[in-house]
Amino acid sequence: MHLSGRNCFVVSYDIMDPRRLQRVHKSMKGFGEPIHYSVFRCNLTPKGRVELIAALTGLIKHDQDRIMIIDLGPADGGADDRIEFIGVRAVDSSPKAVIV
């Protein structure tokens, strides 16, 4: 059981309708960082994961669109090392205090 830690998830989606696509993209920005076109990386608690699924379930058309969620394990347990970037590296998204 993960009481504290967040797991790193890669979420990718194929949405058939541009309006829905926009809505899904907007909703995803509330959960993680876009690392590619239609691919996000999200560091989520178990609760966050369920909230993500609940949010997306309400947005998509289940007979047309598809979403894939890959669990890369604990976010601070080397999940990053399991993502190889060639070219421009995407920024990390772990939440920390914001001071500006």
Partner 1 sequence: MPDLIPARMLAEFAYCPRLCYIEWIDGEFADNEDTVDGRFQHRRVDEDTENDPMDDDLEAIHLRSVSLAGPEVGVTCRIDLLEKEGKRATPVEYKRGKAPDIPEGAYEPERVQLCAQGLVLRENGFQCEQGIVYFVRSRKRVPVTFDKALVKRTRGLISELRRAAIEKKIPPPLKESPKCNRCSLAGICLPDEVNLLREMEEKRGSEKGIMVRVRKLIPARDDYQPVYVVGHGNSLRKKGDVLEIWSRDEGRIKEVRLREISQVNLYGAVDVSTPALVDLMQRGIPVLHFTRGGWFQGVSLGHTHKNVELRMKQFEWAADRKRSLAIARSMISGKIKNCRTQLRRNDPEPSAAVLESLDRLSRDAKKASSAEKLLGIEGAAAELYFGRLDRLLKGNEDFSLQSRNRRPPKDPVNAVLSYLYAVLAKEMFVTLLAVGFDPYLGFYHRPRYGRPALALDMMEEFRPMIADSTAITLFNKRELGDKDFIRTGLGIALTSKGKKTVIGGYERQMEAEITHPLFGYTVSYRRIFEVQVRLLSRVLFGEIKEYPAFSRR
Report the residue number, 3 or 86, with the smaller CB distance to partner 1. Answer: 3
- Amino acid, single-letter form, for residue 75: A
| Dihedral class, residue 28 (left if φ above 0, else alpha if ψ from -120 to 50, else beta) | alpha
| Nearest approach, Cβ of residue 27 and partner 1 (Å) | 7
Q: Which is nearer to partner 1, 62 or 81 (CB)?
A: 62
User: What does the binding site for partner 1 look like in residue numbers (CB under 8 A)?
Assistant: 1, 3-6, 26-27, 29-32, 45-51, 53-54, 57, 95-100
With both helix axes pointing from N to C terminus, report the angle between 18-29 and 46-57 in degrees, rounded to the nearest 10. Answer: 160
The minimum distance between CB 84 and partner 1, in angstroms, equals: 25
